[in-house]
Structure 1
Amino acid sequence: MPPWLFVLLAVSFVLYTDDYVIAGILPEIAADLGVTEGQAGQLVTAFSATVAVAAPVAAVALARVPPRRLFLVALIIFALANFGAVGTSSFAVLMVLRVVAAAATASATPAIFAFAASHAPTEKTGRYLATVSLGVTGSIALGVPLGTWIGGAFGWRATFLAVAVAGMLALIGVLLTVPGSGRGDRSPRLSEQLRSLTRAPIAVSLAANCLLMAGTMMVLTYLAPYLSATAGSGVEERGVAFGLSGFAGMAGIWLGGQVADRWGPGRALFLGIGVIIAAMVAMWAMWAVRPVPIWLVLIVTTVWGGMAFWNSPAIQMRLHRLAGPLAGQALALNTSGTYLGIAFGAAVGGVVLSAAGPGVLPLAAAGFGLAALLLLEVVRRTPPSSEAWNSGSTSPQSNSSKHTDNLGE
């Protein structure tokens, strides 16, 4: 694989570490800036909400900007925002800087995935998308613990400094490896984009991703109380469970990309969602007969963690094929759907936890997975349509035009 692909992996790793790393240094930020931990936690909310709102807007507004230039400008702004966070003593200023960093992330993320997919050989689209996606899962499995350790050893400002420096290193990588040829997409008018992007196959894929993320985060957010109630686990066992799930997610996203290339995204999604539903039913069954050995719970949660991220390359690959030259905008909407699913899953999970206890969470998540599977089945044999690529838009990129099959179903 080309060097630029691994540079884009590093870019996504840095961008998403900046989002999640706040969770590990919340107490220090709150104490130093004179706010409660609940208020400090809104730094995460502000970042996530900004990405969700800004990603599709940026994808439309910046569609004609050459990708390499977009990556460079976004990384410069991102690094400056984090350098600013190092020196601020105002929580309000820090909040503004988090929004600026999130806006830079939202601008670059859809273009990263679209660039990787459009420059991939036809038979390796899934693997290229999986490689870039490893940066997102890797930020949870590696970036957050590393940032937390830096904050604990040298203070929370050192964490932001490390992220800023990592952003500059990623920028250098982009300068050295990412091809500079080519222009941004000559996208059709906004009304034509909306008409194309709201076609049933694309809309259903976006909705399915949102539902899958909601189910995943419903369980992940409240995994600790589930483990305590089911296996009587303590802090160490919970740490092992989260760690195994994170690394399984990295393996799952890579294997999911390879399977999507071989089987097509439709069959890969069917397998991934099916295993998730089975794992959720198994987690509910273990809770029903609790207590159960922690090793048994860890096996199931690790399998679930791997398959939860397995579906990401297949969803992105499906959207890239369906949207043609609007792939960047479709992937931007997918980013928004991911963040909306995260927020919705955490909120609904909290209600379920309070009303019925942790054991019902896996069943509710299985319901979300089943709903996503049924939605995808509705449009299972719908191939890419030229309807999305007319009205004055450019012809589909070479890779997209080759995919005139039924998305692997």
Structure 2
Amino acid sequence: MRLLTRSPTGGLRLAALALTAFTLQTDDFVIVGVLPSIARGLSVGEAAAGQLVTVFSVICAVVAPVAAVATASWPRRRLLLAGMALFCAANLAVPLASSYGALMGLRVLAALAAAVVLPAVFATTAALAPPGRQGRDLATVMAGLTGAVVAGVPSGTWIGAAFGWRAPFVAGGLLGVAALVFLRVAVPDVPSPPAAGVAERLRPLARPGLLFVLLAAVVAVLGNLLFQTYLGPFLADAAGVGATGLGGLLLLAGAAGIAGARFSGTLVDRIGPARTFALAISAFTIAMAGLALFWTVRPAHVALVVMPLVLWSAAAWAVPPPVQARALAFAGDEAAPQALALVSSSVYLGAALGAGLGGWLLDTFGSGTLPVAAALCAFTALAFSALAGRAVPDPVHRLSTDARKAKV
């Protein structure tokens, strides 16, 4: 059941949901910045410490769709509050973890909470969005994920350097408490769907259109992450960018990513998610072509790589809003949480595959192959998206158009 008008607390509601997404995403990646300190503090190798990130991502990818089905009939608000309470407890207990096993156990609990909460955040956002604003509302909450990369992870790294490796987890727990209170105050409940069996809940997920959308998401994220993961080596080879310059470029790229996600949400509501996805992928491909070109004339001046780098980040972060909107449309309201959980799993799967493939390409053929391979993945994602459109016409565009006509 969808609310048809924006409540007076609509802005606060979106801010609460975006803060929740920001908190969960920061917690996933903040370990990267304090990895050596964790390894030294727990007397383990850095490879073992890195498994804390891997386990978190794998649990989120595997558990999210299962949890979405199991909790489909639960009230969304109660699910959000309970999940965030578990997340806060897992992070605030980190100072008590004196062994690697204990820390791993707490990370598993935090990952389980994130696997439940993050799809519910986007499902709640979509359910409470007024007609014609679903794309923009999803993009607003998506900005929380982008902000985690731009500000959350660097801030966590600084906190870890200043106060020890346990401090970023405590900070994450306190931020989670703030998000929990904000959710309780600003987010109304979403009516639970009618009771249904597991088979009935899963039936919408078998629609061909949704399958092709998920495949497009996996391949698009794979292409992005095989480049993004090894951005440092690529820029060092192409333009001689060092650690200091890389930090500035990442900050600029992050700001472009936030703008790209917001603009993408607006386009979803105006021209539909299929066309928005095609535009984002086209821009991504152009950016990869430019970066590949500059690699061939290396060393290129760093100013030359700024524009394609900004375009890459804006295009990459413009992909999630249309993917989410199309998944919701193909699955229908009755399976919205499950569909968004599958989108979340697709992102984690694409990220894992992209990091692995990118590492192999870098070691085997050099960094110049990364943008070329990313562009090929983008073409493949566009093909899957077109197949989704052939399976079922773009329903979100039709709904957005009808909503605009209703206002005339």
TM-score by length of 2: 0.92
* Displacement after TM superposition at 1:191 (Å): 2.8
Matched residues in 2 for 1:108 and 1:329: separation?
Answer: 12
Indicate which of 71, 78, 103 corresponds to 1:69. Answer: 78
* Displacement after TM superposition at 1:189 (Å): 2.9
Q: Does 1:283 align with 2:282?
A: no
Matched residues in 1 for 2:122 and 2:135: separation?
Answer: 11
Following superposition of structure 1 onto structure 2, how do residues 8-407 of structure 1 map, counting pairs within 5 Å? 8-180=17-189, 182-186=190-194, 188-324=196-332, 325-383=334-392, 402=399
* Displacement after TM superposition at 1:262 (Å): 0.9
Matched residues in 1 for 2:342 and 2:195: separation?
Answer: 16
Matched residues in 2 for 1:379 and 1:333: separation?
Answer: 16
Equivalent residue, structure 1, for 2:6: none
What's the C-alpha RMSD, in Å, of the aligned pairs? 1.8
Matched residues in 1 for 2:361 and 2:298: separation?
Answer: 19
Matched residues in 1 for 2:394 and 2:220: separation?
Answer: 25
Aligned residues: 392
* Displacement after TM superposition at 1:403 (Å): 6.1
* Displacement after TM superposition at 1:360 (Å): 0.6
Matched residues in 2 for 1:275 and 1:308: separation?
Answer: 9
**SS of residue matched to 2:368:** helix
* Displacement after TM superposition at 1:183 (Å): 3.4
Matched residues in 1 for 2:233 and 2:213: separation?
Answer: 32
Matched residues in 2 for 1:312 and 1:295: separation?
Answer: 28
* Displacement after TM superposition at 1:401 (Å): 10
Matched residues in 2 for 1:188 and 1:343: separation?
Answer: 34
Deviations 1:56-84, CA, capped at 9 Å, x for gaps: 01100011110110111001100000011
Matched residues in 1 for 2:195 and 2:394: separation?
Answer: 17
Matched residues in 2 for 1:385 and 1:319: separation?
Answer: 11
Matched residues in 1 for 2:394 and 2:296: separation?
Answer: 47
Equivalent residue, structure 1, for 2:3: none
**SS of residue matched to 1:122:** coil
Matched residues in 2 for 1:227 and 1:403: separation?
Answer: 41
2:238–2:299 Cα contact (<8 Å) kept: yes
Deviations 1:243-270, CA, capped at 9 Å, x for gaps: 2222211111111101111111111111
Deviations 1:341-372, CA, capped at 9 Å, x for gaps: 00000001111111110001111010100001
1:276–1:304 Cα contact (<8 Å) kept: yes
Q: 1:400 to 1:310 in 2, by over 3 A?
A: closer
Deviations 1:4-52, CA, capped at 9 Å, x for gaps: 1110100111111100111011111111110111111111001111100
2:126–2:137 Cα contact (<8 Å) kept: yes
Matched residues in 1 for 2:186 and 2:398: separation?
Answer: 26
Q: 1:327 to 1:384 in 2, by over 3 A?
A: farther
Matched residues in 1 for 2:401 and 2:331: separation?
Answer: 12
Matched residues in 2 for 1:16 and 1:195: separation?
Answer: 30
Matched residues in 1 for 2:116 and 2:393: separation?
Answer: 26
Matched residues in 1 for 2:54 and 2:383: separation?
Answer: 31
**SS of residue matched to 2:241:** coil
Q: 1:259 to 1:330 in 2, by over 3 A?
A: same
Residue type of the alignment partner of 1:77? L
Q: Does 1:6 align with 2:23?
A: no
Structure 1 stretches of at least 4 aligned residues deviating more than 6 Å after TM superposition: none
Percent identity between the two aligned chains: 42
1:52–1:336 Cα contact (<8 Å) kept: yes
Matched residues in 1 for 2:11 and 2:306: separation?
Answer: 36
Q: 1:226 to 1:127 in 2, by over 3 A?
A: same
Residue type of the alignment partner of 1:306? A
**SS of residue matched to 1:123:** coil
Q: 1:173 to 1:238 in 2, by over 3 A?
A: same
Q: 1:173 to 1:401 in 2, by over 3 A?
A: farther
Residue type of the alignment partner of 1:204? F
2:271–2:397 Cα contact (<8 Å) kept: no
Matched residues in 2 for 1:127 and 1:86: separation?
Answer: 39
**SS of residue matched to 2:300:** coil
* Displacement after TM superposition at 1:196 (Å): 2.2
